A and B are shown apart, each in its own frame.
Chain A
């Protein structure tokens, strides 16, 4: 049993880092993240940028689906709202990035409030279908409101630049995304250790008891929707800047399903799990890509796509069947075993 870590005040009990080891590892991770683009190639950096942007959105979804227990397939819709808001503001109104990205988040949050209202009476599958419909509606809205969204032709965004400094390369863009991701993680961790996060969890676990303890359940469900879609909107805006072009195909329904699968693989309700889930699922896709293309011939072209989908689906099924707590669950189990060794518990 590990000893020597003693909390002496309530302040220490509520801090994010409970012991020196955690603090050291976090700093090591920060230094590694800062150094990464220097060491890595442009292609890998761009891949990591994609992962980090996805992680921002998935952390938001995790607050809604993982913590509050409201299943949402609206993620792609909120990404689209954020992405289009940023793209329109930057391309048509030449607004700077530091305004466009938060605007994307706020616009998505407003839509989140709108979608959240049906959630007050719907649960489980019914809510999932409603949010699914929202994603489809958004796609149609974008295609038909041509005067604002340029319809099916899409919009090319301006080059990302912040305070006059151009972030034209993947490596410079990396630092912007990293900064936003760190803020996103901190925000999520903070909200979960405040009364708001506890109310979210209480609603997922026992909404009647939550209400009896003084939690206005309806209002907090809306909060969860707003916060979650704000995260997705920010992610969508960053996505628009990364690809430098948005059209409806960039925000297909598959993204919603992918996002839900990421939080399942990572571990529902855990911020770290959300990040790990993103890395696992996108990493797996990338590895499969590599494996199939290196096989060449028929495997490389024809069956690759179907087989990838198959392996991808299989992973989700296996996780739900054997490890519903996801990768974070596995991590916790091994950590406990290691900490208590040689005792069994």
Chain B
């Protein structure tokens, strides 16, 4: 498989704090890739750099052969990268349909004057994009709430709308930041199923940050583990589970040191 996203020696410093230190990994085309690590490991900072929400201090990010390290943040969507946010960034007062239509922004061409006049071209564009959004709504099984303001929906549904909005950008690479945090077992399973469908039916490459180890080891093809801003492991789920560095990061040091202290 070819490489879709290449992260090379990425560094992010906030003043004197190094949040991400020299991290590299490839994300292969068509795979499900997970980025895991304890709290404060720098995973979300990593995501924010990849999606250009934060500028990288040094290093390069390459998407499909194109260097995107310094590109304008709003151009990311048009290049085929969609994302969701850790703490839900839906447009709460807009309906589900309108939320997703914002995701279509970079595929539309309506100008301000076009919007004011709403002539035949604008009308045709609105109709076509509405059709595409309805397909995504069907895929995510949220037809029954399509006209509801997103703020009025249950948490799990809001997350699903956010996923739909990211899908509406027609991404090649989809970044999902803690999609299932705060979800119950049933909702988590639904999301896992959607992610697998994305990969298999729509051939979208998925990169996710996740704390739920169950979903990570079940559906990931490759996993990178971060701790204190550094990449401490990279491999398949089986390799990661056996890696001594990972076990140490999650469970701490061997027990002898503790007993000595007592």
CB within 8 Å of B: which residues of A?
9-11, 13-14, 187, 190-191, 193-199, 201-202, 205-206, 208-217, 223, 226-227, 269
Contacts and interface: CB of A to CB of B under 8 A. Distances in A.
A52 B166 CA distance: 41
Interface stretch (B32-40, B73-81, B182-190): B73-81
Given A208-B53, A213-B165, A190 B116 contact: yes
A201 B151 CA distance: 14
A173 B240 CA distance: 78
Contacts of A206: 89-91
B113 to A, nearest CB: 9
A190 B102 CA distance: 16
B144 to A, nearest CB: 14
A210 B104 CA distance: 11
Q: Chain B interface: which size bin?
A: 35 or more
A14 B130 contact: yes
A184 to B, nearest CB: 10
Given A10-B134, A11-B127, A14-B130, A201 B110 contact: no
Given A196-B112, A227-B112, A214 B118 contact: no
Contacts of B83: 212
B105 A199 contact: yes
Contact of A193 (B74, B77, B126): B126
B110 A195 contact: yes
B110 A202 contact: no
A223 B111 CA distance: 10
A180 to B, nearest CB: 14
Given A191-B116, A197-B115, A198-B101, A214 B169 contact: yes
Interface stretch (B55-63, B92-100, B224-232, B244-252): B92-100
B53 A198 contact: no
Given A10-B134, A223-B112, 8 more contacts: A190-B118, A195-B108, A198-B94, A212-B85, A214-B76, A214-B105, A216-B74, A227-B112
Given A14-B126, A202-B102, A213 B115 contact: no
Nearest to B150: A205
B103 interface: yes
B89 A208 contact: yes
Contact of A190 (B51, B85, B94, B117): B117
A-B residue pairs, 6 tightest by C-beta: A214-B106, A214-B77, A194-B115, A209-B89, A190-B118, A205-B91
B94 A201 contact: yes
B76 A212 contact: yes
B122 interface: yes
A205 B92 contact: yes
16 contacts: A10-B134, A190-B115, A193-B118, A195-B105, A195-B115, A197-B115, A205-B90, A208-B53, A209-B85, A209-B90, A212-B74, A212-B77, A212-B83, A213-B103, A213-B165, A214-B103
